[in-house]
A and B are shown apart, each in its own frame.
Chain A
Amino acid sequence: MILILEQLLNGLQFGVMLFLLAAGLTLIFGIMGVINLAHGSLYMVGAYAGTYVATETGSFWLGLPAALGAAALTGFAIEALVVRRLYARDHLDQVLATFALILIFNQLIVLGFGRQPVFTALPSGFGGSVELLPGLPYPTYRLLIIATGLSVALGLYLLINRTRIGMLVRAGATNRDMVRALGVDIRLLYTVVFGLGALLAGLAGYMAGPISAVQVGMGEQILLATFVVVVVGGVGSIKGAFVAGIVLGVVDTMLRAFLPGLLRLVMAPSDADAIGLGVASMGIYLLMALVLLVRPKGLFAAGG
């Protein structure tokens, strides 16, 4: 029971991480109609920039603005130099151009930081764990991630539903051309949305640093899961990204934690571990295929 609760929390933590990435990606998809494979690179850039500053200054908190700034600046640069030219192109060009960006960013990081994974130190005061329930100690840092993710979700909800810019974002996700026809500076809106997405990706990357290695290729690993979240949640829907992120995060974590153990009951341990892990890795993709078969546009698809 305790173990299940602990894994549920781990799943929640992975889920909010997925949400941070998916929120930006789904807006970029939904509003600009651009498939940005390089979103994972922004995650990586945030992780490296933040970790670098944190290691140099010895303070986790100084690394945070560095991570956010670096990711947002990279995002602005990508938008201005590459993505802006892709709005009118078909999906194939977008996929390939941003695939090229992945290759470029990965090699730039290798050139700058080498191939060895680097580790981010835990922030002071968050190194230990608290006892949530009797017999259930849980690392405070993971709780911090969950809290951060949930507050970002709340903040985004308020931004999207209560502000003027949020109104434009919602309008853009529903009908891009209409917004443009009404005289809104859509280009500025695009840049803002892209920058916001980059910022969130950088935040997620830096937060992930202390619990998983900061290394080249870290972006692609989580990128595919993020795409699944976006598609399951419905392109353009923040709410969908949140729900799908949490659900898929929990499902993925639970499968990885318990499936090998369950399979051990019916087969040899070494086979059970390999097959369990493989099937657990397939889990979220299977879920996505099922959702798309029932609702081809995802759970909470925005209009258009």
Chain B
Amino acid sequence: MVGPIYIIALALGLAFFLGFFGKSLKTFSGFVMLAGLAGMTFISGQWLMAFVDGSATTQEIFTAGFKPPFSINLRMGIEEATFTFMINVIGLLGGIYLFNRLKEVGNSAMSVFIVLIMSLNVIVMTRDIFNLFVFVEIGSIATAGMIILDKTSKSLQAGLKYLLATGVISGLLLIGIIFAYYFAGSLNIDGIIAANLMASKAGAVAVFLIIAVLVLELKPFPANGWGLDVYESSNPGFGAIVSAGTATAGLFVLYKVLPMGGDAWYQYISIIGLITFVGSNLVGTQQKIANRLLGYSSIGQIGLVMTVIGLQPILGDAFAFIAFALLLNHFLAKAGLFWISGIIKKENITDWSALRKNSALLIMFVIFIFALIGFPPFPSFFGKYELIMSLISSDNIWVAVVILIGSFAEGIYMFRWLGHVLKNENSEEEVLDIPWNKFIPIVLVTVSLLAAGFYSVPFVAGANYFYFVPLAFILFLGLIDFLPAYIKNTVSIAGMGYYSWLLYPLVEGDLMRTIFFAIFMFGGILTLVVGYNKSGKREGFYPVALMMYAGLATIVTTDNMFGFFFGWELMTAGSYFLIIRGKRSKPHAYSYMLFSVAGAYLILLGFGLAHASGQTQALIALKDISVLPTLAYTLLAVGFMTKTASLGLHIWLPGAHGEAESDVSPMVSAVLLKAGVFGLMLLFLYMGEQTGDTLLFILGWVGAFTALVGNLAASFQEDAKRMLAYSSIGQLGYILFAIAMMTQLGWLAGFTYVINHFLFKAILFMVVGGIVVKAGTHNLYQMGGLIKKMPLSFLAVLIAMITMAGLPPLSGFAGKWLFYNAVILKGWYIQGVIVFFAGTIAFLYAFKLLHSIFLGQLKDNHRNLKEISPSILIPVYILIAGIFYFSAFPQDVLEPIGNMLANYFPSTLEWAADGNAVTILSNWNGNAVMIIIISMFVLVLGYLWLITGKTQKLEQFNIVYSAERPFRPETTHVSHNMFAGLNKAIGFLVAPGITNFWNNVSKMVLDFAGVVRRLYSGNGQVYAIHIIIYIVVFYLISIG
């Protein structure tokens, strides 16, 4: 094998050699440089492979032929091989990316570039502290040169600031090194470690200076203004090198040198890392300039890895995987983002919508963003999961909490950015120029990122390669995205059908899972059928829709917490993309995502506590949590409630569901919301009534108020889809209330609501969505009289409304009957009254919706409307058949559920042989009621039909006040401000207090970030002062 020393010889030899050409032969020189970088990559790559297959052992390379400490030695072990390989790969790809720019500047720029990469290699390999210093300086000077690659005034300023800062830093390092030599008598790192300098105060100061400086090289918050300026002003192609390459080397050095300081230092490093991770991301929330934002994110991510390095003694065996997964993830994703930035060439993130002009680039951008936030299936997801689990198991909950806060802050700006990219206006004239040499490196890091996720599986308990099967299908759908929508729709339905068949054995025998499985998969297929009425390609729709369903399927079939969380995050990602497809969905999808991410982190913490108690990833760990049980159950409940949109956490829902596309609304409303319910049910069953006594009581109240506020707000809506969205909040309130009772009847009611809500909300959103598209408006008062144009739609909405309002004979009544029995038996009278009141309000909006759309007079512009498409009506009528079946034979479904629930709760419901349901309070027979009511209905309908022939027809708005036509005729429409009186009486209940609360929270965070970032005054000298203050404060904390 080629010795590692040749990395240095090759790079320097070529760098010097390029000088021969002076200013000529630039292209040739460029290829010489790339060949050199490729050679370096090859050398470290072959060592890496040898270490991986076990054919090599750690090598010590003695320069000058003398043993250390007498001469400088380098080391090549598996760690060094990995890190040099990463650095050389980024060097090679970065060199390809920057090829044209380097060529323009000249051969000397190529020399500087290759020397920079070489210096990072030596920094990783050397075992001599002074040699480390020399090559750190080489790196700094080369960096100072590369900063001005673009030759702008800003980059000049940044370069000078960088030089001043690193000058001060390296001076202090030198003092540390010379005194380390004075005390240890050696410059060899291992020799200094062996000398244990920490024993004396002065020795400790020397170690302090060395480590503190190496930390400062990693640009810790807040002493990092100079680093941010570099990211902002330099060529993004070089930003990638700094963020991925330099930082990787710097982290490795820290890892290498840290044993000098002993145990205490690990703790300091983890704290510094945490402050950097949270601080940098928090300040980043105010940032609008893309490259600077990437700088904040880079520094944050490096802080996270620094934290992990500091946590090494705590993490034990898991350390290597966690640190490497997080580092590699940052390394690949950040390089990719910087490279994309270099293609887009837009300073402000609000202008990044230009990215949409190239869908491949757009997809890769999305992948990088999701990888950074830690979504599956990327390595950071696995790393972060392991990290949180290990931290909580080792009693470091607060560290886990802080890490998740930092991660959330990163989500704040990353998803805002993504929203701009996906939804902002896009000017047509500009063309995106994508040279292949800039495109290929981005593709390569994307592929590596996906592969790295795949290879993370064996390192995490509970992870399974099977989770990648649906992802492969999604990838396939992405590849056939150029086909027309109906083909992809068919493929998707077939895929889901096959996958359901494949997964069914996993839920078979577990009734609760089977019900949710049916809702998710069957509901999913039905909502996909609706998609047949869409023409064109629907670019990007099918992969994300299937991603959501894959996540739901994973949640309901998995038996361990990791799988659940994997599915949960997958579902969140998929649904986010579905929601943001709506025309005005940008802010709503954003708040949906933030609530979801926050909720997911709460769930993760809860899982961590469960894992810490049970020492297993199996879901059974949720039973009898012994570590902080109240906290754990509360976190989990609140986490799941972000998805069920319970009061206080609901503000994302109306916009997200209301603005979504017509077939997305039923997906996210009828199907997706049930994921939260499934989580809550699972949680409650494991928790049990005893443990969760207080929590359940509170949740009962929350459920009651959610029902009230949701329904009330629905009745005041003028927008048809928003009304349905608010109605979902109310319905989910019922469900929460019902299952919080923790009795057999309560849960039966809960299940009935779950099934009903799925059925009728899917119908309503499908039909109303179809009508809204046809009518061209969401506003109820701009519709009317559509009953004649769309009789089938009317009938469907009528049936759904009857179900929703809980009127006999349909299954809504079954829910209500069970519900009141349950409330009375439980004794939650006051809450019960609130829910009852909410139920009456449900009548109001049910009537409003039905009346405004279908009754009254037809609008002029709707004269030519036709019935909505059969691709909507077919699934709708399938669902209606479901309602009738469930209404007529409730015992078929409810009896097995009741029996299952009897395992958990005392049985209070009997089923008579004729289908009569009996409680100690009353009884009810679904099919008898059905027969009676339907016959009455038919009679009345027939009578009405007979007498309608005599009515006189009125034209629209033929109303005249005192010979004047009203100025805005629609205000005279009955559904305009229909319940004004009610609004006056109790409308304050739905005043946007909660929305205001969350707005204020976010404003406070942003204001805080705005104040903190004033630290970065722009003055290079001030940044040098920051460094000295940092050193002094750090000293006072660690030694003084």
The reply to whether chain A is a binding partner of chain B is: no
